[in-house]
Amino acid sequence: MAERTQQFTWRSTAEDVLKDIDLTGKTALITGTNSGIGIETARSLALHGAHVVMANRNIPASEKLRDEIIAEKPDAKVDILPIELSSLKSVKKAAEEYIAKGWPLHLLILNAGVAKPLVDSTEDDLEATYAVNHVAHFYLTQLLLPKLKQSAPSRVVIVSSELHSSTKIDVSLPVAEKIKILTPVAGTKEPGMFSFYAYSKLCNVLFAFALHRKAHQSGVNVYVVHPGVIKTGLVRGSGFLGKVFQFFGTPFFRSIEQGAATTVYCAADPELANVSGKYFENCWDDEKKLQKSLARDEALQDALWKHTEEFLRKFESSKM
């Protein structure tokens, strides 16, 4: 197998990455396409022939984006799947609806994320950032994993963040203590918004690497990405500090076209057909900024997997 070479940089856009790639016959399910890089991820994949299913809470905004895509490409195939990621009941309903449609699933892109949700806790008794960014996406993936395997070769792209390395978790702590920190329950107030976000982004990375070990042999490739710093609605509800961050950070923000590049690279580039279980930034996987001491800890990966599964089993049994 020929050695890969880096073709793109942080300046590359989703369109640069997808040039000459035809995704006709591929179906992509994407969460969080109503703002930020999710918009461009959905748009660019649809314009290159993929059947795009947008999983969102805000249906009018989704319909507006669908209509804009179709205006640009009249034969584009775009569907909308209602989902509220702060509700596991809604996640389950969305997965069941997707399966009932009979669609294949070649690309699952877990893009949605919040840094400070509008509520502190969810109806499932979890801290909301952890619930939306990790638990909901874990559950959606588990429910759709048989479809991913059936549609193989398939890919899962999980949007994390460089901030996964900012948890300040002592690597010498026992695994159980690390899990307690990473999985806050409803009512947890400290250490605060940005720490909760960092915890959830490390959960994304741990989940990605564990999923790779469990699903890659079944034809499912898994990638976890840092999209760069993009001016999005991610910090809605974060108040004064979030506004200050956006104001002073503006010169360093990427456009959404640049921010979506690494996601669509992992979703669509043919050179990655045999690559899985890697952390990508700037369309490349040298993992220089991956916090390997935590992220590559398989015991921690497995413990988070087990903890999340056990919570979901309790959720499902309570609904029977």
- For residues 256-280, give the mean pLDDT: 97
* Residue 196 pLDDT greater than 90, yes or no: yes
pLDDT category, 38, cuts 50, 70, 90? very high
What tens digit of pLDDT does each residue of 70-124 get? 999 999 999 999 999 999 999 999 999 999 999 999 999 999 999 877 778 999 9
Q: Which residues pair with 92 in a beta bridge?
A: none
- Alpha-carbon distance of 108 to 138, in angstroms, equals 12
- What is the model's pLDDT at position 233? 52
* Residue 132 pLDDT greater than 60, yes or no: yes
pLDDT category, 301, cuts 50, 70, 90? very high
- What is the model's pLDDT at position 238? 46
Let me know if 199 is a catalytic residue: no
Sequence-distant (≥ 6) Cβ neighbours of residue 271 within 8 angstroms: 4
Q: Where are the beta strands (DSSP E) in 32-160?
A: 51-56, 77-82, 107-110, 154-159
Write down the mean pLDDT value for the chain: 92
- What is the model's pLDDT at position 73? 98
- What is the model's pLDDT at position 235? 46
The interaxial angle of helices 298-318 and 175-182, nearest 10 deg, is: 50
- For residues 280-309, give the mean pLDDT: 97
Q: Residue 57: which of 22, 25, 32, 93 has the closest Cα?
A: 32
| Percent of the chain residues past pLDDT 70, beyond the cut | 92
The active-site residue, picked from 197, 199, 223, 265, is 197
- For residues 125-150, give the mean pLDDT: 97
- For residues 57-74, give the mean pLDDT: 98
Q: Strand 77-82 to strand 107-110: parallel, antiparallel, or no bridges (unpaired)?
A: unpaired
- What is the model's pLDDT at position 116? 74
Please check whether residue 186 is in contact with residue 254, taking contact to mean a CB–CB distance below 8 angstroms: no
- Alpha-carbon distance of 63 to 287, in angstroms, equals 37
- Alpha-carbon distance of 135 to 85, in angstroms, equals 9
Place of tokens 């999005």: 232
- Alpha-carbon distance of 128 to 150, in angstroms, equals 32
What tens digit of pLDDT does each residue of 210-263 get? 999 999 999 999 999 999 887 655 444 445 445 444 443 444 587 999 999 999
- What is the model's pLDDT at position 241? 47
Task: Return the structure tokens found at 135.
Answer: 């638990």
- What is the model's pLDDT at position 2? 62
